Amino acid sequence: MPAEPLPVAPVRASPLPVASALAVVYLVWGSTYLGIRWALEGGWPPLTMAGARFLLAGGLMYAVLRWRGMPAPTRVQWRNLAAMAVLLLGLGNGMVCIAEQSVSSGLAAVAVASAPLWMGLFAAMRGERPLRLEWIGLAIGFVGVLWLNMGSSLAATPVGLVALLVAPIAWSFGSIWSRGRDLPSPFMTAAAQMLCAGLLLPVAGFAIGERMHDWPSWQGMAAFGYLASFGSIIAFTAYVWLLHHVRPALAGSYAYVNPVIAVVLGAWLASERFSMHDVGAMVVVLAGVVAITLARTRRAKPA
């Protein structure tokens, strides 16, 4: 999931490119949860893998952007980007990687789907008064979060439970905190954030005892390559393109499509099993996210 960029005025595009970009964002970001699981099963330590992924993807993006003449971030921007990297990629994505050592990829995706709920709550605490439909969405969504955390298979893995509570909260707080900050363009923001996270995460992994005694298997390397290329570069490029060509509500629809894709792929390709309790909690969480998305659409129309 990307941090919420500044809204832009959509430029009309033909249906085929829009459908193609949506398919990339839905399928690729929905499949990254399974990619993380396969990378971990292939021998990667979680934070080391996440850091190497972001260092590779961020380094490539940064080099290309600078080669094309985009200015480097200023000192103030680097400071803001480093803080965002800690919250969004360090605690956000890093905790997901830690959780997937004991939690299925589909269940991790469902837990992360609660991020828009936390963002709505943090926005309200910041002074943005929620509409009635947003309050309804928050109430519905948090019932689903409680349901997911209290009675599903997630409750049987304390480390995974804590990690998947921290991840969406940190991501959401970082997204709200970043609003109005001095930041470069969306592409440079993403590249610089990944560079910062790529330096931070391996150090954090080493501090908690992560060590690589052997090279990852071919499956682990393939999953890592997929996450770095498709997950971090290609899908993000498609998402930024969508922000400039479709309404924000449509571009942000990945929030409730990705978890469904992650669950389907986990069950199909990794034989993950989900109880009716898990599925019920997912439906309730996503219902809350949809309500918040509709409310945001209504709020944006007068502007």
Asked if residue 296 is part of any domain, the answer here is yes
pTM reported for the whole predicted model: 0.88
Where do we find the tokens 């908690």? 208
pLDDT score of 10: 55
Where do we find the tokens 């480093």? 82
Asked if residue 1 is part of any domain, the answer here is no
CB contact at 8 A, 243 and 67: no
Band of residue 292 on the pLDDT scale cut at 50, 70, 90: confident
pLDDT score of 35: 97
Band of residue 303 on the pLDDT scale cut at 50, 70, 90: very low
Torsion angle of the four alpha carbons 79, 84, 89, 94, in this order, in degrees rounded to the nearest 10: 90
Q: Express each pLDDT in 23-57 by its tens digit.
A: 999 999 999 999 999 999 999 999 999 999 999 99
Domains held by the chain: number: 1
pLDDT score of 247: 74
List the domain range (segments joined by +) for residue 55.
Answer: 28-300
Give 46 or 283, the one with higher predicted confidence.
46
Give 11 or 202, the one with higher predicted confidence.
202
Asked if residue 14 is part of any domain, the answer here is no
Asked if residue 259 is part of any domain, the answer here is yes
pLDDT score of 233: 94
Asked if residue 57 is part of any domain, the answer here is yes
- Nearest to residue 30, comparing CAs of 106, 111, 92? 106
Asked if residue 10 is part of any domain, the answer here is no
Residue 93 burial (CB count, 10 A): 28
What distance in Å separates the CA atoms of residue 225 and residue 212, rounded to the nearest whole number? 17
Q: What percent of the chain has pLDDT over 70?
A: 90
Return the minimum-mean-pLDDT range out of 65-74, 77-86, 160-169, 199-208. 160-169
Asked if residue 139 is part of any domain, the answer here is yes
Q: Express each pLDDT in 115-144 by its tens digit.
A: 888 888 888 888 877 778 888 888 888 888
Return the minimum-mean-pLDDT range out of 64-73, 163-172, 209-218, 238-247. 238-247
Angle between helices 254-269 and 15-41 (to 10 degrees): 50
pLDDT score of 13: 66
Give 249 or 163, the one with higher predicted confidence.
163
What ranges make up the beta strands (E) of 6-126?
none
pLDDT score of 3: 47
Q: Express each pLDDT in 96-122 by its tens digit.
A: 999 999 988 988 988 888 888 888 888
pLDDT score of 37: 96
- Nearest to residue 287, comparing CAs of 142, 156, 183? 142
Asked if residue 21 is part of any domain, the answer here is no
Q: Alpha carbon 23 to chain centroid distance?
A: 17
